[in-house]
Amino acid sequence: MSTVAAAPTGSNVKRHPGLALAVISCAQLMVILDATIVNVALPTIHRALHFSAASLEWLITAYALTFGGLLLFGGRTGDLYGKRRMFMVGIAIFAGASLLGGFATDQAWLIITRGLQGVGGAIASPTALSLVAVNFAEGRERNRAMGIYSAMSGAGGAVGLLLGGVLTSYVSWRWIFFVNVPIGAVGLVLAPRALVESERRPGRLDTPGAITATAGMLSLVYGLTNAATHSWGAVGTIAPLMAAAVLLSAFILIELRSPAPLMPLSIFAARNRAGAYLMMLTLGMAVFAMFFFLTQYLQNVHGYSAVRTGVAFLPMSFGIMVSAMATARLLTRVGIRRPLITGPLCALAGLFWLTQLTPTSSYLDLILPLLLLAIGMGQCFVPLTVAAISGVAHEETGLASALLNTGQQVGGALGLAVLGTVAISSARHYITAGVATLHRPPTVALINAGITHGYTRATFVAAAIMAASLVISLLMIRVGEVGGPDGVGEVAAAEVLGSVA
């Protein structure tokens, strides 16, 4: 999958650069904001559709796993069948799934549509970035377009927090899905008129690889999640974990033998690059679940509204963006190794601080460690992106950067499954012990204390995962020449802000 390509010749589409950029950017904003717009509505959806605590996690993991697991596959479809065509296919799937999700009446319905949204996003997002290169000439025009595209990607997280809160509080949680429909419809109407189609490349899709990888990760997360409601020895836990082992092993064998592998294993040969992928996986595992937990904490324990919750998280979103941009400017002077040590250290300190939360903690007790966490994460994104795409062949830059996003999404889904299991089990044991001591049904105060206890236990585990990320940095990331083919800086900027969102 390549993100940099020359505009094809002989296209019958009259160029409209402004309209083309608007279509691409709005579609990307729609996909990116969906990662956060649902978070602030989770407690409302929980009550409306009677989700269990374990099932609620699937509203996040279903999207993250299908989006991350099929990201490489989606980009490859653009190479083979035309980037504009597949961009439109991705938008159509995403908008259609959003419409169905808005009408959901039960858990299974909404979870399935979230997974379909991830499928659409996995096709639309990589082709959107590629279309910037296809539709804008290299140089100042493309740099300007890439800057606007990056800004939209970076703003997606903050917009999602605000929009999700406003729609949930003042309209209905269903509109966090319905809002995607008119955006998608406008994009589908304008895309053929505004976007130049790319040249198709010969080749084949690694469909078996995509199926086994995604199914394997879904089975793994399902097994880990079941451990919270059953036990580690239950059939419902062991069977999906065994299926995951078989499917993921099959995926490795397929990639080794495929003439056109979805994920060429040779991409991991460089030490810095392999370290960057491992770090992004562990960073996603450690941090992704924090938004899920703290949204529940603010609304269920402190009684925040959805709007107030969205606003409460804005400093963290902006903190990551500011830290990432500051790191990008310093990178030529300090190199990639230093921020990949100080970043995990800051994030680790923030996570340990969050383990001190109680049911009566103030907002200041929450936002200060979150800002420390944001500074640390921001320091990591840019150097990880540079380490991932430096030294690769020009045509493999897209693959290298997409793998980083895949690691983040898959790591986040795995982390939420593991940490969610820890949180649910710890909360249940705490409340059960409290009931046994008090010899009466659990009070609201005991339930809130149990919920908070579960989240802080899970945060301890998240801190341990973050410590593992620091160890990976110390052992694998080395100072060396950080360079790459022309266009690396443009791709890095876009991918960094996409990760920030």
The answer on 238 and 329 residing in a single domain is no
User: What's the predicted TM-score (pTM) here?
Assistant: 0.85
The answer on 483 and 347 residing in a single domain is yes
Which phi-psi region, left, alpha or beta, contains residue 176 (left: φ > 0; alpha: ψ -120 to 50)? alpha
Q: Looking at residues 135-140, what average pLDDT do you find? A: 76
The domain total for the chain is 3
| Residue 376, pLDDT score | 94
The answer on 167 and 275 residing in a single domain is no
Residue 153 reports pLDDT greater than 70: no
The answer on 147 and 131 residing in a single domain is yes
Nearest Cα neighbor of 296 from 357, 222, 231, 228 is 357
Q: Looking at residues 310-316, what average pLDDT do you find? A: 91
The answer on 211 and 134 residing in a single domain is no
Domain that holds residue 130: 1-200
| Residue 480, pLDDT score | 52
Average pLDDT, the chain: 86
- 421/179 Cα distance (integer angstroms): 32
Q: What is the chain's Cα-based Rg?
A: 22
Q: Looking at residues 21-49, what average pLDDT do you find? A: 87
Nearest Cα neighbor of 314 from 379, 370, 380 is 370
**In this predicted model, what pLDDT tens digit does every residue of 296-307 receive, in sequence order?**
999 999 999 999
Domain boundary among 240, 259, 278: 259
The answer on 490 and 383 residing in a single domain is yes
The answer on 175 and 211 residing in a single domain is no
Q: Helix/strand/coil (H, E, C) string of 374-415?
A: HHHHHHHHHHHHHHHHCCCCHHHHHHHHHHHHHHHHHHHHHH
Quote the percentage of the chain above a pLDDT of 90. 50
Q: What's the CATH code of the domain at 447?
A: 1.20.1250.20
Looking at per-residue pLDDT, the higher value among 183 and 439 belongs to 183
Residue 80 reports pLDDT greater than 90: no
| Residue 44, pLDDT score | 94
Look at the block and give the residue holding tokens 């941009």. 325
